[in-house]
Amino acid sequence: MNQESAFRYREHSLFAEDVALADIAREHGTPAYVYSRSAIETAFASFVQACRGRDALVCFALKANSNLAIIELLARAGAGFDIVSGGELQRVVAAGGDPSKVLFSGVGKSEAEMRCALDAGVRCFNVESESELLRLDRVAASRKLRAPVSLRVNPDVDAGTHPYISTGLRENKFGIAHEDALDVYRRAAALANIEVKGIACHIGSQITSVDPYLAAADKLLELVDALHADGIELHHIDFGGGLGIRYRDEDPPSAQALLEALFRRLDRHPRGSRYGVFFEFGRSIVGNAGVLLTRVEYLKQNGERRFAIVDAAMNDLMRPALYEAYHGVLPVRQRDDVEARRYDVVGPVCESGDWLARDRSLAIEEGDLLAIASAGAYGMAMASNYNTRPRAVELLVDGAQVQVVRERESVASLFALERRLR
Ligand code: LLP
C-alpha cells in the first residue's frame, strides 16, 4: 500500500488502511494523529530498494516523528537513524534501534551528549564547526576512544525551499563553509582522538527537484578530491535528507529517481563507487503516512469570512502558523446534503496565527470530522502544550488493527512538574 492509497474513501467515508476514521474518532476521540504502518514501511522500502547492491545506510531523521513505535518499525526494517540530541539517542535505544547505525547531527552538541553517543557507539558524528571538533576530541580522549567523524560541509547551494527550512546556503548557521572545510579536515586528521570517516551535507527540507542535490554532490566531490590529493581518504558520503512530498501540487522526484541520479553522478567520479553513501530522510518517509483527525466544533461567519473552528490547533500542528504551510483538508464523510462553502479552518488557540488551512471549499456541518493531510512529519514532533492543551493521542493503523502508540496527555500531567508557592 503506497502513501496515496493508505488514506482513501470507501463509499464516501475516509479510511486509514482498513479502518474508518469515523470509527477511530468514536473510539479514541479527537484531535488524534493517525498513521498508516504500511505507508511508512512502503516509503522506507523504496529508499532501500533504490540502494540495492550499494554500500548504503538509509537513516530516518528522528526529528520528523520520534514516536517509539515508529522508530521500532523502521528499526525492524533495517533503518539507521539521524539524531540531533541525546534525547533522540535515548529514543532509538529505547525502541530497540542499533546505535551503530546512528548518525549524530546538529550544531550544538553538548559534552554530555557527546559522551553518551561515544559510549553508545554511534556510527558517525556530523561535526559542524572547528570548536565542536576540538570539544569532541577532548571528550573522546577522556573516554579513551576515537570519535568517528564527518564534517558537515555547507555547499552553498540553493535548495529552493522555504527560508526557515533551507540549510545549505552560506548565510545559514549550518555546516562548515566549503572554502574552510579543507583546513578543518587537516586539523581533524591530526587529532589523536578523531577518526575522519566521511563528509556530510544537508541542504534543506521539502526539496522538490534533483538539481540542488546534484549541485551539492559536485561540491562534496570537489572536496573529496582535494582531500585525496592531501592524503586524507574518506569512507562515506552523507547526502543528508530533505526530499519533498506532495502537500498540494508539488511534484518531487521519487526516491528512486533521486538516488539513481546521485548514484550516476557518483559513478562518473573516478573513485566515486568506492564510497559508502548515507542518507538522512525524515519527511519523505513519514510525511504522507499520517493525518491529524479533528472535529468541527463551530461554524461561524465574520463579515465575508467563514470559519470552521476545529478541536485541533496550532499547538497540535504548527506548520501552517510557522511556515504558512499548506495541508490538504479532507472531510471524513463526503456529503451532498449541505452546500460547499469556503472556510478558514482554525483552532481554539487565542492567536490569529492559529489556522490550519485557509479558504478551502468544504461541505461540512458542526460536529463533522476532518482529516488534515500529510501530517505525519513535523506534526506531533513539533506539538506543544500552548494554552494548556494536552497533546493529541497517536494511533498506528495496521490493516484493520488500531494501536495507541501514545496516549492522549492528561491536563494533570501538564502541570505535574510545577510547584505551588512555598
Ligand atoms: N538531516 C539534517 C541534518 C536535518 O537538519 C534534517 C531536517 C533532516 C536530515 C531531515 O530532513 P527531511 O528529510 O525531513 O526534510 N520543521 C520543518 C522541517 C525542518 C527540517 C529540519 N532539518 C517543517 O515542518 O517543514
Tens digit of pLDDT for each residue in 270-299?
A: 999 899 999 999 999 999 999 999 999 999
Residues 376, 287 contacting (CB under 8 angstroms) = yes
| Average pLDDT value for residue range 105-128 | 98
- Alpha-helical (H) ranges within 157-202 are 178-189
Tens digit of pLDDT for each residue in 317-349?
A: 999 999 999 999 999 999 999 999 999 999 999
Helix (H) or strand (E) holding 33: strand 32-36
pLDDT value at 163 more than 90: no
Q: Give the confidence band of 253 by pLDDT, cuts at 50, 70, 90.
A: very high
**Cβ-based neighbour number of residue 248 at 10 Å:** 10
Going by alpha carbons, the residue nearest to atom 18 of ligand 1 is: 165
Query: Does residue 105's CB lie within 6 angstroms of at least one atom of ligand 1?
Result: yes
From the CA of 152, how far away is ligand 1's center (Å)? 15
Going by alpha carbons, the residue nearest to atom 22 of ligand 1 is: 205
From the CA of 205, how far away is ligand 1's center (Å)? 5
| Average pLDDT value for residue range 257-272 | 96
Helix (H, G, I), strand (E, B) or coil at 93: helix
Closest atom of ligand 1 to 241 CA is 13
Going by alpha carbons, the residue nearest to atom 24 of ligand 1 is: 378
Provide the sign of the torsion angle of the four alpha carbons 347, 351, 357, 358, taken in this order.
positive
Residues 291 and 406: their CA atoms lie apart, in Å, by: 15
Tens digit of pLDDT for each residue in 301-314?
A: 999 999 999 999 99
From the CA of 396, how far away is ligand 1's center (Å)? 22
Residue with cell 468544504: 362
Which phi and psi (to 5°) does residue 158 adopt?
Answer: -95, 115
From the CA of 280, how far away is ligand 1's center (Å)? 9
